[in-house]
Amino acid sequence: MKTSMSALVCLFCLGISTCVYAGFEGRIRVTIRDTVRSKNIPVTIIYASDLESGDNKALVGTSTNTIPDFSVVVMGHGFQLPVTVYRSWASNIVQTSPGTIVILPETGGELFPSHGDFALDMVECLEYMQREGRRSGSVWFDHIRNDNFVAGHSMGGGCALLAAKEILQSRALNLRGVIAMAPAETNPSSTAAAAAVTVPTLILAGAQDCVTPLQTTVQPIYTAVAAACKVLAVIPGASHCQFADSSFICTLGELNCRATISRATQQGRTNQYVTLFIRQKDSVARAIDNTQIQTTMSFFSGSELPADTTTACEGDTVTIRSTVPNPHLLWLPDSVRGQQVRFRVKPGITTVTLVTTQCFGETRLVHTVRSAPLPTVKVQGRTSMCRGDSVIVRAVRSPGTSVLWSTGSTDDSIIVRQPGTYGVVASSNCGKASDSIRVTFASTSKVPLKLEGDTLFCDGIGSVSITCAYDTTLFRGILWNTGESGRTLTIKRTGTFIFHAELTPRTSNGCVGTTDTVRVRIMDVTPPEPTITRRGDTLWSSKADAYSWLKNGVTMPGRDSQYCVVTEPGEYRVRTRSSAFHDCPALSGSFTVTSIVDVATEDDDEPRVVHHRTSSELLFTNGTAGEIVRILTILGETVRSVAIDGSTARISTMDLPCGAYIVMGSSFRPRTLIICK
């Protein structure tokens, strides 16, 4: 190729970004005559021009007599789409690859076009450029390589596969690759033609395309392609029509499948892949970031170039090997071929690149070896500490070294709790270095903590305070291990806590003071609510250790038993305490008494029990002769019994302790008896 760096200025961006051509763009419109089919084919040719842009401008390099040799891309348009909507696509190619021209055939615009005929038009365009490259007097004379691509969009994408089959089976053209954007099924079948395509193939599809859907149209075509090197890239959010510039007809045809990305975004992604494909670089696949990709390409992986050697001493000889058996491996920068390369390590970083040519272009693996000078080490850290405290000393060492402290530790840092001299040795294959530090004790102090308040909360009520009475002439502030500050720390929640604090010295050379450590266990006790039951004129509390009865919210003096004899209506409650719940008080719900039962006026149909609280006997009337009447404790122990003589009986209650008893007989319900002298 005849090129000049001054004439062909191309600024290539890093990674996969689209490059920008700093030159100009020309257009030539000609009509090609296909004598075999007796057909005229109007076309537009787009190319890099010299000094200015426009129609029929001079080829790039004309002014310096450095016109390059051009590759040729023929681009087939979509159904009912003018070639003008592919100007942006063509401009990207000539701007990023000035040694490539693009031909846009203008045939195939009929309402019912012949796909086979349009594919032959595309082939004829490439044949025409080969003839122009050999024809004396042509502007293209001696500047056209037999280096061709067929491309297309939609109908044109399907026809590109038909054209590729024709070239590979019947023509002398050298076909380097096929580019199909959202290819359509054609007649004859583009899917069937794909089985004859053996050159590198790039197929692009839109995830939002419902004109040529991925699963039913594009995927079968890609699957059928016989090329050993092929890529199917599905662009997220892309539609069918946005592969081209804006067209009302195309947009109308995809009203139900709008893109979710902009046309500029979709064409930017498309241009990245097409540019890299035309340059025949394997990075066409690596460039497809966040894209659903299928490919037959294989690339170097990190395991194929072991990276176990990353540092070596200056002047050492290092061997780097590849695990991939391949007769075409090339090591750069020294252009050494074979499975391995040996080199002498120079100061700084030595970069070795393993290259092989595969599929769309070069595949590379890069390995760097950093030279390791003689090791260095420096110990850093505080040289004094308070008693009972500790300091961290650290070895700052050069890369590629290991450390060994005088304590036996191999970590970069150690914790020092005792005064003394601490040394470290840094070692590498290139030698050793050492350093040390001397640590001494400084003055310190211990401040007591004072615990105040309860450590038992009853029903969530209470608090505990920890107070530090430090000397304000020595320390200016305190920081608790909870993150709080201030002399007093108040705890209002339950749990087990360990508290201590640090005190900030007033002078910069003073040690941080520390406090005692206090362990506090705080419990929250909520006893169960007592219950009240009524037996005749007596209210009974559920079991507890201590009782206090309340009527209408007022404590009743002297009523501190489990039972309470009621003499008048009201709202009754009982407050209890139990050792099982740390004597925390529990208050019952309200028990309403609306009437007082008079035992002297009970139903005459039943036996009556009459007990005068001032007497020492129990009178039983309306009983059954011979019936045994008993007095039992609430635990069921019989303390008195008598047989009824006639219909009455008297039972002595003399000497019975005050308390609650149960009176039982076979002919009446058990009755509660309260004896209170």
Global pTM reads 0.50
Q: What are phi and psi of 528, to 5 degrees?
A: -70, 150
Q: Which of 34-48, 237-251, 253-267, 416-430 has the highest mean pLDDT?
A: 34-48
Taking residues 468-496, what's their average pLDDT? 82
Q: For the chain, percent helix, then strand, then coil, each to nearest 5?
A: 15, 40, 45
Measure the CA dihedral 272/274/275/280, to 10°: 120
pLDDT at 454: 67
Lowest mean pLDDT among 133-147, 158-172, 248-262, 642-656: 642-656
Q: Please say if the pLDDT value at position 662 is more than 80.
A: yes
Q: Please say if the pLDDT value at position 268 is more than 80.
A: yes
What tens digit of pLDDT does each residue of 113-129 get? 999 999 999 999 999 99
Lowest mean pLDDT among 203-212, 376-385, 651-660: 651-660
pLDDT at 410: 92
Q: Please say if the pLDDT value at position 319 is more than 80.
A: yes
Q: Which residue has the tokens 């529990």?
A: 586
pLDDT at 320: 84
Sign of CA dihedral 153, 157, 158, 162: positive
Q: Does residue 375 have a cis bond before it (omega within 30 degrees)? A: no
The chain-wide mean pLDDT, for the chain, equals 83
Taking residues 658-674, what's their average pLDDT? 76
Lowest mean pLDDT among 15-24, 168-177, 292-301: 15-24
The confidence band for 287, taking pLDDT boundaries of 50, 70 and 90, is low
In terms of pLDDT, which residue wins out, 509 or 451?
Answer: 451
- Alpha-carbon distance of 97 to 114, in angstroms, equals 32
Taking residues 640-669, what's their average pLDDT? 78
- Alpha-carbon distance of 164 to 151, in angstroms, equals 9
Taking residues 89-114, what's their average pLDDT? 94
Q: Please say if the pLDDT value at position 6 is more than 50.
A: no
Q: Please say if the pLDDT value at position 20 is more than 50.
A: no
Q: Return the percentage of the chain with pLDDT > 70, whole number.
A: 85
Taking residues 359-385, what's their average pLDDT? 79
pLDDT at 12: 31
Edge-to-edge strand order for the sheet containing 54-55?
Answer: 54-55, 24-34, 39-49, 100-105, 70-76, 144-153, 175-181, 201-206, 230-235, 292-295
Lowest mean pLDDT among 101-105, 176-180, 428-432, 436-440: 428-432
In terms of pLDDT, which residue wins out, 466 or 25?
Answer: 25
Ramachandran region of residue 361, left (φ > 0), alpha (ψ -120 to 50) or beta? Answer: left
DSSP state of 136: T
Lowest mean pLDDT among 77-86, 481-490, 613-622, 654-663: 613-622
What tens digit of pLDDT does each residue of 510-526 get? 777 778 888 887 777 88
The confidence band for 307, taking pLDDT boundaries of 50, 70 and 90, is low
Q: Please say if the pLDDT value at position 193 is more than 60.
A: yes
Q: Please say if the pLDDT value at position 8 is more than 50.
A: no
The confidence band for 509, taking pLDDT boundaries of 50, 70 and 90, is low
pLDDT at 676: 66
Q: Please say if the pLDDT value at position 186 is more than 90.
A: yes
What would you report as the CA-atom Rg of the chain, rounded to the nearest whole angstrom?
A: 51
What tens digit of pLDDT does each residue of 523-535 get? 778 889 999 988 7
Q: Please say if the pLDDT value at position 132 is more than 50.
A: yes
pLDDT at 663: 82
Taking residues 388-416, what's their average pLDDT? 88
Q: Please say if the pLDDT value at position 22 is more than 50.
A: no
- Alpha-carbon distance of 267 to 92, in angstroms, equals 10
In terms of pLDDT, which residue wins out, 58 or 597?
Answer: 58
Q: Is 362 helix (H, G, I), strand (E, B) or coil?
A: strand
What tens digit of pLDDT does each residue of 534-545 get? 877 788 889 999
The confidence band for 226, taking pLDDT boundaries of 50, 70 and 90, is very high
What is the full DSSP assignment across 124-144? HHHHHHHHHHHSTT-TTTT-E
pLDDT at 138: 95
pLDDT at 243: 93
Residue 82 exposed, middle or buried by CB count within 10 Å (0-12, 13-18, 19+): middle
